[in-house]
Protein backbone atom coordinates (compact mmCIF):
# COMPACT_ATOMS: atom_id res chain seq x y z
CA UNK A 1 0.00 0.00 0.00
CA UNK A 2 1.51 3.26 -1.07
CA UNK A 3 1.35 6.71 0.45
CA UNK A 4 -0.78 7.74 -2.47
CA UNK A 5 -3.44 5.22 -1.49
CA UNK A 6 -3.91 6.73 1.95
CA UNK A 7 -3.92 10.16 0.40
CA UNK A 8 -6.78 9.23 -1.88
CA UNK A 9 -8.69 7.71 1.07
CA UNK A 10 -8.25 10.94 2.97
CA UNK A 11 -9.36 13.04 0.01
CA UNK A 12 -12.34 10.77 -0.50
CA UNK A 13 -13.53 11.20 3.05
CA UNK A 14 -12.90 14.89 3.34
CA UNK A 15 -14.20 16.02 -0.01
CA UNK A 16 -15.06 13.62 -2.86
CA UNK A 17 -17.36 11.30 -0.90
CA UNK A 18 -18.05 13.56 2.04
CA UNK A 19 -20.68 11.90 4.23
CA UNK A 20 -22.95 14.94 4.26
CA UNK A 21 -22.13 16.86 1.10
CA UNK A 22 -21.73 13.97 -1.32
CA UNK A 23 -23.35 10.87 0.11
CA UNK A 24 -26.14 12.81 1.85
CA UNK A 25 -26.06 10.25 4.63
CA UNK A 26 -26.68 10.95 8.31
CA UNK A 27 -29.22 13.66 7.57
CA UNK A 28 -30.95 13.19 10.92
CA UNK A 29 -28.05 14.33 13.11
CA UNK A 30 -27.05 16.86 10.46
CA UNK A 31 -30.37 18.66 10.64
CA UNK A 32 -31.04 18.17 14.33
CA UNK A 33 -27.70 19.00 15.89
CA UNK A 34 -26.28 21.76 13.71
CA UNK A 35 -28.05 24.61 15.44
CA UNK A 36 -24.65 25.91 16.55
CA UNK A 37 -21.04 25.42 15.59
CA UNK A 38 -20.14 23.92 18.95
CA UNK A 39 -22.90 21.34 18.76
CA UNK A 40 -21.88 20.37 15.26
CA UNK A 41 -18.24 20.04 16.27
CA UNK A 42 -19.05 17.96 19.35
CA UNK A 43 -21.36 15.65 17.46
CA UNK A 44 -18.84 15.29 14.65
CA UNK A 45 -15.98 14.40 17.01
CA UNK A 46 -18.10 11.84 18.87
CA UNK A 47 -19.09 10.26 15.57
CA UNK A 48 -15.49 10.27 14.37
CA UNK A 49 -14.36 8.40 17.49
CA UNK A 50 -17.02 5.74 16.97
CA UNK A 51 -16.30 5.54 13.26
CA UNK A 52 -12.54 5.02 13.61
CA UNK A 53 -12.85 2.30 16.25
CA UNK A 54 -15.74 0.55 14.52
CA UNK A 55 -13.87 0.52 11.22
CA UNK A 56 -10.80 -0.98 12.90
CA UNK A 57 -12.80 -3.67 14.71
CA UNK A 58 -14.88 -4.57 11.68
CA UNK A 59 -11.75 -4.83 9.57
CA UNK A 60 -10.11 -7.08 12.18
CA UNK A 61 -12.98 -9.56 12.35
CA UNK A 62 -13.84 -9.45 8.67
CA UNK A 63 -12.47 -12.95 7.97
CA UNK A 64 -14.08 -14.64 10.96
CA UNK A 65 -17.64 -13.32 10.55
CA UNK A 66 -19.68 -14.99 7.85
CA UNK A 67 -21.56 -12.70 5.53
CA UNK A 68 -24.94 -14.03 6.67
CA UNK A 69 -24.61 -12.72 10.22
CA UNK A 70 -22.36 -9.74 9.59
CA UNK A 71 -25.03 -7.03 9.98
CA UNK A 72 -26.15 -8.01 13.51
CA UNK A 73 -22.52 -8.45 14.55
CA UNK A 74 -21.61 -4.99 13.24
CA UNK A 75 -24.61 -3.43 14.92
CA UNK A 76 -23.70 -4.98 18.27
CA UNK A 77 -20.15 -3.69 17.87
CA UNK A 78 -21.24 -0.19 16.96
CA UNK A 79 -23.84 -0.12 19.73
CA UNK A 80 -21.18 -1.02 22.29
CA UNK A 81 -18.89 1.73 21.06
CA UNK A 82 -21.68 4.29 21.08
CA UNK A 83 -22.59 3.36 24.62
CA UNK A 84 -18.97 3.88 25.66
CA UNK A 85 -18.86 7.31 23.98
CA UNK A 86 -22.25 8.20 25.44
CA UNK A 87 -21.16 7.41 28.98
CA UNK A 88 -17.79 9.09 28.52
CA UNK A 89 -19.40 12.30 27.32
CA UNK A 90 -21.87 12.19 30.16
CA UNK A 91 -18.98 11.95 32.57
CA UNK A 92 -16.50 14.46 31.13
CA UNK A 93 -18.45 16.79 28.83
CA UNK A 94 -21.64 16.94 30.77
CA UNK A 95 -22.84 20.34 29.52
CA UNK A 96 -22.45 19.37 25.91
CA UNK A 97 -24.03 16.01 26.68
CA UNK A 98 -27.12 17.77 27.96
CA UNK A 99 -27.47 19.50 24.59
CA UNK A 100 -26.66 16.56 22.34
CA UNK A 101 -28.02 13.89 24.71
CA UNK A 102 -30.39 11.86 22.60
CA UNK A 103 -28.42 12.26 19.42
CA UNK A 104 -25.27 10.70 20.87
CA UNK A 105 -27.22 7.51 21.51
CA UNK A 106 -28.58 7.73 17.99
CA UNK A 107 -25.09 7.54 16.50
CA UNK A 108 -25.71 3.81 16.58
CA UNK A 109 -28.20 4.09 13.76
CA UNK A 110 -26.13 6.66 11.90
CA UNK A 111 -26.06 5.19 8.42
CA UNK A 112 -22.61 6.63 7.80
CA UNK A 113 -21.05 4.22 10.31
CA UNK A 114 -22.69 1.02 9.14
CA UNK A 115 -22.23 2.31 5.62
CA UNK A 116 -18.45 2.58 6.02
CA UNK A 117 -18.30 -0.82 7.71
CA UNK A 118 -20.14 -2.36 4.79
CA UNK A 119 -18.57 -0.38 1.98
CA UNK A 120 -14.99 -0.17 3.14
CA UNK A 121 -13.93 -1.96 6.31
CA UNK A 122 -15.12 -5.45 5.36
CA UNK A 123 -13.01 -5.27 2.23
CA UNK A 124 -9.88 -3.54 3.48
CA UNK A 125 -6.97 -3.88 5.84
CA UNK A 126 -6.93 -2.56 9.37
CA UNK A 127 -4.75 0.49 8.75
CA UNK A 128 -6.61 1.54 5.62
CA UNK A 129 -9.90 1.14 7.50
CA UNK A 130 -8.64 3.29 10.35
CA UNK A 131 -7.56 5.99 7.89
CA UNK A 132 -10.91 5.77 6.14
CA UNK A 133 -12.80 6.09 9.43
CA UNK A 134 -10.73 9.10 10.39
CA UNK A 135 -11.18 10.77 7.00
CA UNK A 136 -14.91 10.15 6.85
CA UNK A 137 -15.31 11.26 10.45
CA UNK A 138 -13.33 14.44 9.93
CA UNK A 139 -15.28 15.17 6.76
CA UNK A 140 -18.49 14.70 8.72
CA UNK A 141 -17.19 16.90 11.54
CA UNK A 142 -16.18 19.61 9.10
CA UNK A 143 -19.56 19.56 7.36
CA UNK A 144 -21.48 19.68 10.64
CA UNK A 145 -19.32 22.48 11.96
CA UNK A 146 -19.70 24.58 8.81
CA UNK A 147 -23.48 24.13 8.70
CA UNK A 148 -23.67 24.76 12.43
CA UNK A 149 -21.60 27.94 12.21
CA UNK A 150 -23.66 29.37 9.37
CA UNK A 151 -26.96 28.58 11.06
CA UNK A 152 -25.70 29.90 14.38
CA UNK A 153 -24.43 33.10 12.82
CA UNK A 154 -27.60 33.81 10.87
CA UNK A 155 -29.95 32.54 13.51
CA UNK A 156 -28.48 33.92 16.70
CA UNK A 157 -25.64 36.23 15.66
CA UNK A 158 -23.00 34.23 17.53
CA UNK A 159 -20.09 32.02 16.57
CA UNK A 160 -18.97 29.02 18.63
CA UNK A 161 -21.18 29.97 21.56
CA UNK A 162 -20.26 27.86 24.60
CA UNK A 163 -17.20 26.45 22.88
CA UNK A 164 -15.47 26.41 26.26
CA UNK A 165 -17.92 23.71 27.37
CA UNK A 166 -16.56 21.44 24.69
CA UNK A 167 -12.90 22.36 24.36
CA UNK A 168 -12.08 23.76 27.76
CA UNK A 169 -11.88 27.34 29.03
CA UNK A 170 -8.74 28.10 27.01
CA UNK A 171 -10.85 28.09 23.85
CA UNK A 172 -13.21 30.77 25.10
CA UNK A 173 -11.61 33.20 22.63
CA UNK A 174 -13.46 31.42 19.82
CA UNK A 175 -16.78 32.65 21.13
CA UNK A 176 -18.01 35.67 19.23
CA UNK A 177 -21.18 37.65 19.29
CA UNK A 178 -22.52 40.07 16.76
CA UNK A 179 -23.77 43.04 18.77
CA UNK A 180 -27.21 44.39 18.08
CA UNK A 181 -28.38 41.50 15.94
CA UNK A 182 -31.60 39.80 16.97
CA UNK A 183 -31.18 36.76 14.80
CA UNK A 184 -33.48 35.05 12.34
CA UNK A 185 -35.20 32.29 14.24
CA UNK A 186 -35.99 30.38 11.06
CA UNK A 187 -32.32 29.51 10.58
CA UNK A 188 -32.26 27.65 13.88
CA UNK A 189 -35.41 25.75 12.92
CA UNK A 190 -35.27 22.76 10.53
CA UNK A 191 -36.26 24.71 7.36
CA UNK A 192 -33.19 26.89 7.83
CA UNK A 193 -31.04 23.80 8.12
CA UNK A 194 -32.36 22.39 4.87
CA UNK A 195 -31.97 25.72 3.09
CA UNK A 196 -28.35 26.12 4.24
CA UNK A 197 -27.52 22.52 3.31
CA UNK A 198 -29.05 23.10 -0.11
CA UNK A 199 -27.00 26.20 -0.75
CA UNK A 200 -23.81 24.49 0.44
CA UNK A 201 -24.47 21.51 -1.85
CA UNK A 202 -25.00 23.88 -4.77
CA UNK A 203 -21.81 25.71 -3.87
CA UNK A 204 -19.83 22.47 -3.72
CA UNK A 205 -21.09 21.42 -7.14
CA UNK A 206 -20.15 24.77 -8.64
CA UNK A 207 -16.68 24.50 -7.12
CA UNK A 208 -16.24 20.97 -8.44
CA UNK A 209 -17.31 22.00 -11.90
CA UNK A 210 -14.85 24.89 -11.88
CA UNK A 211 -12.05 22.56 -10.72
CA UNK A 212 -12.92 20.02 -13.43
CA UNK A 213 -12.83 22.74 -16.05
CA UNK A 214 -9.46 23.92 -14.81
CA UNK A 215 -8.10 20.38 -14.81
CA UNK A 216 -9.39 19.82 -18.34
CA UNK A 217 -7.80 23.04 -19.50
CA UNK A 218 -4.51 22.04 -17.92
CA UNK A 219 -4.65 18.60 -19.54
CA UNK A 220 -5.30 20.22 -22.90
CA UNK A 221 -2.38 22.53 -22.37
CA UNK A 222 -0.14 19.60 -21.48
CA UNK A 223 -1.28 17.65 -24.51
CA UNK A 224 -0.69 20.54 -26.88
Partner 1 sequence: MSTQSLATQPIASPHAHGGNSVTRTMFRVQLALAPATLYGFWLFGWPSFFLWLLTILSCLGFEALSLKLMGSARIKVTLWDGSALLTGWLLAMTLPPWAPWWVAIIGGFIAIVIGKQVFGGVGQNVFNPAMVARVALLVSFPVPLTQWVAPLPVTSLAAPDFIHGLQIFLGNQATPDAMASASLLGYTKTELSRGIDLLHSLGGDHGALFSWAGTRAGSFGESASLLILAGGFYLLATGIITWHTPLAVLAGLAIPAAIGHAVDPTHYLSVSTHLLSGAAMLGAFFIATDYVTSPNTGAGQIVFGLGIGLLTWIIRTWGGYPEGMAFAVLLMNALTPVIDRFVKPRILGRDRKGKPLDIPESKGA
- The site for partner 1 (CB under 8 A) is made up of 182, 184-187, 189, 191, 195, 198
3-state secondary structure 203-217: HHHHHHHHHHHHHHH
Shortest Cβ 185–partner 1 spacing (Å): 5
Closer to partner 1 at the Cβ: 72 or 198? Answer: 198
Minimal CA–CA distance to 104: which of 163, 32, 54?
32
Closer to partner 1 at the Cβ: 65 or 184? Answer: 184
Q: Where are the alpha helices (DSSP H) in the chain?
A: 3-11, 27-33, 37-60, 70-92, 94-105, 111-119, 126-156, 163-167, 185-188, 190-223
Shortest Cβ 24–partner 1 spacing (Å): 16
Closer to partner 1 at the Cβ: 71 or 185? Answer: 185
Shortest Cβ 43–partner 1 spacing (Å): 24
Shortest Cβ 131–partner 1 spacing (Å): 37
Closer to partner 1 at the Cβ: 101 or 194? Answer: 194
CA 78 – CA 117 distance, rounded (Å): 10
Task: Identify whether the C-beta of residue 45 lies closer than 8 Å to the C-beta of residue 154.
Answer: no
Shortest Cβ 151–partner 1 spacing (Å): 12
Closer to partner 1 at the Cβ: 61 or 186? Answer: 186
- Please give the DSSP secondary-structure letter assigned to residue 177: E
CA 210 – CA 212 distance, rounded (Å): 5
Distances in whole angstroms, Cα of residue 169 to Cα of each of 164, 172, 175, 218: 5, 5, 11, 48
Closer to partner 1 at the Cβ: 115 or 157? Answer: 157
Shortest Cβ 182–partner 1 spacing (Å): 7
Amino acid sequence: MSENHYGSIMKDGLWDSNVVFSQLLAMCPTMAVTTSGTNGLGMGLATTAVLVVSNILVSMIRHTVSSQVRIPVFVVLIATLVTVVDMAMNAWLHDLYKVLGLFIALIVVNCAILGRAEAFAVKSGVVASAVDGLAMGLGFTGALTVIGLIREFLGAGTLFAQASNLLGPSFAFLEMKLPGYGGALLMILPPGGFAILGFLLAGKRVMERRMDEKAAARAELAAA
